[in-house]
């Protein structure tokens, strides 16, 4: 059947409501009736009639349509076939079946298949309201589809931005981790340099300065004997010089041992700290006690070394700068935190100003930072200083040997500083 393209009608108020309608209809007269009904309803209709699948395919491919009105049964075509063809092109276009006769079951099946409505040809008064309704619904569907598409694109764009941002954050995080790793490496290198320098100074004191002073002491002793043989009045002064030189030699030897011999031996922190206390008493003649509350966790060797060095520096500062007469090193573990404290009764600690160059304090903080510990040093009123180094420990860390009785032999001295070894936690005992 031939096709025609016609435009009819204006609205009642003179304004046009353009409508492009494709009539799938085998009767030219019925198509004219449909067009007139739409025109009377206020549409300016541009329409084409087709009655075969090929003709409909051509029109759907060539133009965009606002409405499809389809007869149900035609000699060479049918409404179900036309509906399936429309779905392949634009399923949002309203598809209304207009038929002279259609069974209710068939109409319901067509509606389920995607038809939007069905109208009997002898009741065309329903056509315009149905068309207006379906055009509104189609506009809503198109707007919703457009919004969903815009939302989908926005979501995809957001995902791309998130992926890019995540990649940027991962790259920045990697750079930060590299910087942190490099800083830790430099801090460890600095600590190693400090240790090597300390050992070198100890060796120089022992091998160079110590030997020369020993030679001077022997020469002074020889001079003392010669003056005594000659009956000189300077014998007593020579004897005093020799005695003073012996004291200097002994002090130099002690310093040399301090610089070169205070190294960690073993991984048990309680054991090495008790050894530190014993060495301090032997070298400096200062009361130094160790107390611990077990069981203590097992620590990596590097953590043991750094805690030992922090305690060593704190004790050294207490004796050299604080002029302390008593020092207590305490160790305790509570829940998931290990606390090491060094308490003394010497001159209170004074916080450094912003331009301070206290290398010992800086190195202590470096050591604490390398093992993820926190270091706090504070004065205890008018007399004494408390240094606390706390470290978060993993719950899975196995306990060390724990309470092995260390510190009991120094119990009385410890109690004088407010501690009850083996019966009071170090944290409680060291409260000012």
Tokens, residue 55: 């003709």
**Dist. CA 381–CA 344, nearest whole Å:** 12
pLDDT surpassing 50 at residue 283 = yes
Q: What tens digit of pLDDT does each residue of 383-417 get?
A: 899 999 999 887 655 555 444 444 443 444 333 33
The predicted pLDDT at position 365 comes to 87
pLDDT surpassing 80 at residue 356 = no
pLDDT surpassing 70 at residue 338 = yes
| pTM of structure | 0.47
Give the residues across from 67 on adjacent strands: 21
Tokens, residue 393: 């420990």
pLDDT surpassing 50 at residue 361 = yes
SS3 7: strand
What one-character DSSP code corresponds to residue 349? P
pLDDT surpassing 50 at residue 360 = yes
pLDDT surpassing 60 at residue 11 = no
**What is the residue-averaged pLDDT of the chain?**
81
- Which regions of 52-142 does DSSP assign to beta strands (E)? 67-70, 95-99, 117-120
Tokens, residue 424: 């009071």
Q: What is the mean pLDDT of residues 172-178?
A: 92
Residues 6+ apart with CB under 8 A from 258: 202, 283, 316
Poorest-confidence range of 124-133, 321-330, 417-426?
Answer: 417-426
The full set of domains in the chain, from first to last, is 5-115 (3.40.50.2300), 262-429 (3.30.565.10)
The predicted pLDDT at position 60 comes to 93
The predicted pLDDT at position 53 comes to 93
pLDDT surpassing 80 at residue 118 = yes
pLDDT surpassing 90 at residue 121 = no
The torsion region of residue 295 among left (phi > 0), alpha (psi -120 to 50) and beta comes to: beta
pLDDT surpassing 70 at residue 103 = yes
The predicted pLDDT at position 9 comes to 43
Which of 129 and 247 is assigned the larger pLDDT?
129
Other CB atoms within 10 A of residue 423 CB: 10
């Amino acid at each position: 059947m031939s096709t025609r393209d016609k435009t009819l009608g204006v609205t009642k108020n003179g304004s046009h409501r353009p409508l492009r309608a494709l009539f799938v209809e085998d009767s030219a007269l019925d198509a004219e009736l449909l067009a007139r009904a739409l025109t009377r309803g206020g549409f300016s209709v541009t329409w084409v009639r087709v009655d075969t699948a090929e003709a409909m395919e051509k029109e759907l491919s060539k133009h965009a349509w606002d409405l499809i009105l389809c007869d149900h049964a035609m000699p060479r075509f049918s409404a179900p076939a036309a509906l399936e063809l429309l779905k392949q092109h634009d399923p949002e276009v309203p598809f209304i079946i207009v038929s002279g006769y259609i069974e209710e079951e068939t109409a319901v099946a067509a509606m389920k298949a995607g038809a939007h409505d069905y109208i009997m040809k002898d009741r065309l008064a329903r056509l315009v309201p149905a068309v207006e309704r379906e055009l509104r619904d189609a506009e809503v569907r198109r707007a919703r589809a457009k919004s969903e598409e815009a939302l989908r694109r926005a979501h995809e764009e957001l995902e791309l931005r998130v992926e890019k941002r995540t990649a940027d954050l991962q790259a920045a995080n990697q750079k930060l981790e590299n910087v942190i790793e490099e800083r830790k490496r430099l801090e460890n290198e600095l600590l190693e340099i400090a240790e090597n320098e300390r050992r070198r100074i100890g060796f120089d004191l022992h091998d160079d300065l110590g030997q020369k002073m020993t030679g001077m002491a022997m020469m002074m002793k020889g001079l003392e004997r010669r003056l005594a043989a000659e009956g000189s009045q300077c014998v007593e002064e020579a004897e005093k010089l020799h005695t003073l030189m012996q004291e200097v030699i002994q002090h130099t030897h002690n310093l040399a041992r301090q610089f070169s011999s205070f190294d960690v031996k073993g991984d048990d922190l309680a054991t090495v700290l008790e050894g530190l206390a014993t060495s301090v008493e032997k070298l400096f003649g200062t009361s130094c006690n160790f107390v611990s509350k077990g069981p203590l966790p097992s620590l990596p060797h590097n953590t043991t070394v750094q805690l030992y060095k922090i305690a060593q520096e704190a004790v050294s500062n207490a004796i050299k700068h604080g002029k302390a007469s008593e020092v207590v090193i305490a160790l305790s573990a509570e829940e998931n935190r290990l606390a090491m404290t060094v308490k003394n009764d010497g001159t209170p600690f004074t916080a450094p100003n912003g331009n301070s160059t206290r290398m010992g304090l800086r190195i202590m903080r470096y050591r604490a930072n390398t093992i993820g510990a926190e270091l706090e040093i504070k004065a205890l009123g008018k007399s004494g200083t408390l240094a606390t180094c706390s470290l978060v420990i993993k719950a899975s860390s196995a306990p060390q040997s724990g309470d092995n009785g260390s510190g009991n032999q120094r119990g009385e001295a410890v109690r004088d500083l407010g501690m009850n070894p083996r019966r009071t936690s170090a944290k409680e005992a060291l409260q000012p």
